[in-house]
């Protein structure tokens, strides 16, 4: 900016000096040339007013007057009518410089006001947009709370009307199974009945787990030990699916304040979902790290990264909603329960995914600081 102003200032100075030299070096009897040179002074004055506003226009007109006045006094001396015309021209120089500079200055001020108004409107729009997003989030939370309230009301009915008959059906089926040998068609049908009964019972348990409050018994919980337990539980399932399961060793022993059983349940839901979404030959990697946010605060980051089919954008927006599932035999409660557990421990659960590029689930939990009470 300074360089541009300096160049403009030098151009104006050279312009004025050049016109003045033409005046002083041109013989007086060539008055028509002097009339032309006299009008040329308006060009630097107008340019100065456009470039530098009112101060520039006045300063340039004053400089032109100073450069032109000696020419009138010493070269045109003695001709009163001529001198009067020249003096009036000097007055016009200053009038043109002042008026042009004033108009340009007002236009610039108006432009600055419009720009400030545009900035203010943009800030207001962003603020309204943020408020709108906040309102949408609150409405979503209210809808989720209403849905959970409905689930809670239905939970008691389900517990009595479904779980007890399921227990009777399974018990009867197990008694009938003893009358047949493996390989008998009726034995296989009874096995199917028992498996489906167990699956339906799990659905009801997940439903109840989602609807009712989860009492927690907080204690010192070693994150890596919980992950080792989870990977050991699903190791056989991973082998059957031909999915490589890796648990990376932790750099340090990370301890969090948590209910170990519930935390293990959340991790297990995430791992099972990842295994089910990963085709044979794929892999699932689980890793733990510690990220320090402030001088005294730190969080534990647990990452579950699979090479599965990925999740489309529309499904990512709904994946934490109860009963939403992309699997034909899924309940749609696993991730909803997991997030509820993680958030109940003061953490977060986030998913990053792209179709055909796998999925990464990031769980964050506050690290238990040395000397912090349970």
Higher pLDDT, 304 or 31: 304
Q: Are 224 and 152 in a shared domain?
A: no
8 A C-beta contact, residue 278 and residue 241: yes
3 state SS of 68: helix
Last residue of a domain, one of 158, 190, 211: 211
> For residue 305, what pLDDT band results from cuts at 50, 70 and 90?
very high
Higher pLDDT, 225 or 57: 225
Q: Give the mean model confidence (pLDDT) for residues 100-120.
A: 85
Domain extent for 206: 146-211
Q: pLDDT tens digits for 27-58?
A: 777 777 777 777 787 888 888 888 887 888 78
Asked if the structure places residue 141 within a domain, the reply is no
> If you average pLDDT over every residue of the chain, what do you get?
78
Last residue of a domain, one of 211, 235, 261: 211
Confidence check: pLDDT of 322 > 70: no
> What percent of the chain stands above pLDDT 70?
79
Q: Are 332 and 268 in a shared domain?
A: yes
Q: Are 151 and 55 in a shared domain?
A: no
* pTM of structure: 0.48
Asked if the structure places residue 110 within a domain, the reply is yes
User: Where is average pLDDT lowest: 39-53, 166-180, 344-358?
Assistant: 166-180
Closest CA to 238 of 212, 206, 273, 209: 273
Q: Are 223 and 335 in a shared domain?
A: yes
User: How many structural domains comprise the chain?
Assistant: 3
CA dihedral 147, 148, 153, 159 (to 10 degrees): 120
Q: What is the CATH number of the domain that holds 248?
A: 3.30.565.10
> What percent of the chain stands above pLDDT 90?
2
Q: Are 28 and 63 in a shared domain?
A: yes
Last residue of a domain, one of 172, 194, 211: 211
Q: Are 72 and 160 in a shared domain?
A: no
- Measured CA distances, 132 to 11, 119, 126 (Å): 54, 20, 10
Q: Are 85 and 191 in a shared domain?
A: no
Q: Give the mean model confidence (pLDDT) for residues 148-163.
A: 62
Q: Report the phi/psi class of residue 101: left, alpha or beta, with left for phi > 0 and alpha for psi in -120 to 50.
A: alpha
């Amino acid at each position: 900016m300074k360089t541009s102003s300096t160049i403009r200032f030098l151009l104006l100075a050279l312009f004025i000096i050049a016109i003045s030299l033409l005046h002083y070096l041109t013989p007086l009897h060539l008055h028509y040339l002097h009339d032309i040179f006299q009008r040329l002074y308006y060009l630097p004055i107008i340019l100065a007013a456009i470039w530098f506003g009112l101060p520039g226009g006045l300063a340039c007109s004053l400089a032109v007057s100073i450069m032109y006045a000696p020419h009138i006094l010493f070269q045109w001396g003695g001709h009163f009518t001529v001198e009067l015309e020249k003096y009036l021209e000097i007055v016009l120089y200053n009038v043109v410089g002042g008026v042009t500079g004033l108009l340009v200055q007002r236009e610039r001020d108006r432009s600055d006001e419009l720009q400030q108004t545009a900035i203010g409107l943009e800030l207001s729009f962003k603020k309204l947009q943020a408020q709108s997003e906040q309102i949408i989030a609150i409405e979503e939370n209210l809808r989720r709370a209403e849905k959970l309230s409905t689930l809670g009301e239905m939970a008691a009915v389900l517990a009595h009307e479904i779980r007890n008959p399921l227990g009777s059906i399974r018990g009867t089926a197990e008694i009938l199974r003893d009358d047949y040998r493996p390989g008998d068609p009726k034995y296989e049908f009874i096995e199917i009945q028992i498996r489906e009964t167990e699956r339906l019972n799990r659905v009801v348990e997940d439903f109840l787990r989602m609807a009712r409050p989860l009492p927690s018994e907080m204690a010192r919980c070693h994150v890596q030990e919980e992950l080792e337990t989870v990977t050991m539980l699903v190791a056989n399932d991973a082998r059957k699916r031909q999915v490589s399961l890796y648990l990376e060793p932790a750099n340090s022993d990370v301890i969090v304040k948590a209910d170990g059983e519930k935390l293990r349940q959340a991790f297990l839901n995430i791992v099972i979902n990842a295994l089910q979404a990963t085709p044979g030959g794929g892999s699932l990697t689980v890793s733990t790290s510690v990220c320090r946010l402030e001088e005294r605060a730190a969080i534990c980051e647990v990452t579950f990264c699979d090479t599965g089919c990925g999740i489309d954008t529309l499904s990512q927006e709904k994946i934490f909603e109860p009963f939403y599932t992309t699997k034909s035999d899924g309940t749609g409660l696993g991730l909803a329960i997991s997030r509820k557990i993680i958030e109940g421990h003061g953490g977060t659960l986030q998913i990053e995914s792209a179709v055909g590029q796998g999925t990464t689930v990031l769980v964050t939990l506050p690290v238990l600081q040395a000397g912090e009470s349970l």
